[in-house]
A and B are shown apart, each in its own frame.
Chain A
């Protein structure tokens, strides 16, 4: 039932201005953190600030530890009372939650303003991790995470260096059992950047938005060589097995003709968080299976 926020925001922010993370002021080490942003929760745990997290959004499912934490609402329904009762000294909010932000500032609680990057999105994620490390007193671990991610991404880059770049389409949404309501990754945002790193060329590169809804005519015309559907693990029942067969209708698409329609399931391919390198590797393995033998 729930897709991770990375994808959700990717869809919501299609007409968003390019923004970067605002570093929080006065980095005193936060001891009680409430995160309304699942991607940030994941980053907090990655930099070792997990034990300091006392509350998470209702959409948080990763890492598994968050299931035990109080859920305090999310983008549209943050439960101010609940959050205050957790006595946080740092609340992580979305850049657009200005009312919430003002409320906590009034209560003297520090705010970390998360902005989902559209241009240089991966760099933005790395910056956010660094800033979170500073805000929570885990600078060194944050640096380690950033290095691990950068090396991971570089490793993928090197694996596919010099290989031909198949024209690829990343499908991020589709009405089950039909070719209707199709959403694909456009030419901005972290999915496009991940595809680039994985040695693929986005057939919708020219459309500078995070998500595009193409018609079947546009799909046929763009004729991708590889088609990858990215899905969050939940909802499990959303797409029955064999559902990829509906693509056979569009037989002239090279990806369909050459049996290069693939499915990648997992949060790591749809959340702009610490597992970006794993996501990029999964895409690269799909695009260039021979390079990983």
Chain B
């Protein structure tokens, strides 16, 4: 793997990029950012019904009786915002997990965080828990708890008392835990009544219709914290992507970076799954597509993936809510139908 624009060093002079990294970063972020912005501005204007925008923004009509305003501000804007946040969180977590595990097939769901989250949500849906935690309603709260427990188990397994974090153990433990939790999910569903099983299955397909800003406000702090950590990772991830040992010799705190990468990506994934359910394919399709477009430097790939992930999910959700209106298509089904074949094409094309 060629690390374009890696940190300079006497032994390993950086490959001369066409443009300095700062310029490329600005150009990429500006380009992808503009795309995201346009999508997020236009997406709320389209929906399963048509709204009168002038009426929606007319403040002389009381909000309580202004259907157009309510559709715009309660039904559509939160949905687009949730889509952008979840898309960005999952896509960037995908990038970080792929770099951390040094495995191009890693997704935000590989290490069992989402399976833990799903198990938590399933238990509350099926057993009927009522415990709301702060701004989190019962199902997302349980989902967050499940994600936290799963992440803690995987982390605990990968960090033995007398050894540093092993990404191999991390990957194997994560995959095993994922399968284990998935089996528990099936077991819980098997014991439940049909109606709950249906609701639970629907939850697994993902849903961005969060019905207001409150759930977004609840998830936002976690995603912001994860993003702040993400911002400090790319240079180290670049070097570790080549070889953790040589990265170490170049002054990278490898165990520290691995810990922060694991923590931040797990945090972002947990928040995204708690908010909208485990929406698949974004965490793998978006990073790979972005790498095709901008190369492999994580300083560029990470922000570009976040922005493109936001765009991609907002567009998929636009299809989900309009194609069969007034009936909805689960957004996870749309991302899979759009993302699956696309990813296969990428695989064949790259092979």
Contact = CB atoms under 8 A, between A and B. Distances in A.
B76 interface: yes
A3 to B, nearest CB: 4
Q: Is the interface of A mostly helix, strand, loop or mixed?
A: loop
A252 B89 CA distance: 33
Contacts of B212: 179, 249
B74 A250 contact: yes
Residue from A214, A221, A249 with most neighbouring chain B CB atoms (10 Å): A221
B196 interface: yes
A13 B196 CA distance: 14
Nearest to B320: A215
B4 to A, nearest CB: 43
A81 interface: no
B198 A179 contact: no
A220 B71 contact: yes
A175 interface: yes
Contacts of B215: 178
Contacts of B126: 1
Residue from B71, B79, B194 with most neighbouring chain A CB atoms (10 Å): B194
B75 A220 contact: yes
B326 A207 contact: yes
Nearest to A251: B64
A181 B202 contact: yes
B130 A176 contact: yes
A212 interface: yes
B321 interface: yes
Interface in A216-268: 216-223, 235, 237-240, 246, 249-252, 257
Contacts, number: 134
A249 B71 CA distance: 11
B281 interface: no
Contact of B195 (A11, A216, A239): A11
Residue from A7, A77, A207, A250 with most neighbouring chain B CB atoms (10 Å): A250
B48 A177 contact: no
B327 A212 contact: yes
A218 B321 CA distance: 10
B130 A237 contact: yes
Contacts of A218: 48-49, 325-326
Contacts of A1: 126-128, 192-193, 196
Contact of A216 (B128, B137, B209): B209
Given A176-B137, A177-B132, A251-B64, A213 B202 contact: yes
A75 B192 CA distance: 12
Interface string B122-141: 00011111101000011100
Nearest to A213: B328
A178 B48 contact: no
B258 to A, nearest CB: 35
A217 B137 contact: no
Interface in B142-163: none
Contacts of B79: 215-216
A75 B109 CA distance: 32
19 contacts: A1-B192, A59-B193, A176-B137, A177-B130, A178-B215, A181-B203, A183-B199, A213-B202, A215-B321, A215-B326, A215-B328, A217-B75, A217-B76, A221-B48, A221-B49, A223-B67, A237-B130, A249-B212, A252-B69
Would you list the 9 A-B pairs with minimal beta carbon distance, nearest first? A179-B211, A8-B194, A238-B128, A217-B75, A235-B128, A177-B137, A3-B195, A216-B75, A251-B64
Interface of A: 1-3, 5, 7-9, 11-12, 59, 75-77, 173, 175-181, 183, 207, 212-223, 235, 237-240, 246, 249-252, 257
